[in-house]
Amino acid sequence: RTFASQTDGESRLARVLREKFPRASAIKVVDISGGCGAMYEIHIESEEFREKRTVQQHQMVNQALSEEIKHMHGLRIFTSAPK
């Protein structure tokens, strides 16, 4: 698949994350399971993460995706606050 076209799962997760993190300056969702939707890598840069420890940032993402996570085998999360 071309890099520009997202899978349905990537699009769905990105949409949920944009709703939950409206102040995010960057959201990137990549299906790292070869397109079957079993495992994703998520990168989010958001002002909401400022002054929070990494574990708290990841808990926020896990909570935002709580329904979607039930159908996954794994999730890699990378979070940061804008510089």
Q: Summarize pLDDT for 23-75 with one digit per residue, the tens.
A: 999 999 999 998 788 999 999 999 999 999 999 999 999 999 999 999 899 99
Q: For residue 19, is it left (φ>0), alpha (ψ between -120 and 50) or beta?
A: alpha
State both tokens at 60.
């926020």
Torsions phi, psi for 47 (to 5 deg): -60, -30
State both tokens at 77.
């999360």
| Sheet with 24-31, side-by-side order of all strands | 24-31, 39-46, 74-80
Q: Summarize pLDDT for 11-25 with one digit per residue, the tens.
A: 999 999 999 999 999
State both tokens at 48.
């909401």
Q: What domains, with CATH codes, occur in the chain?
A: 8-80 (3.30.300.90)
d(CA 50, CA 80): 8
pTM: 0.88
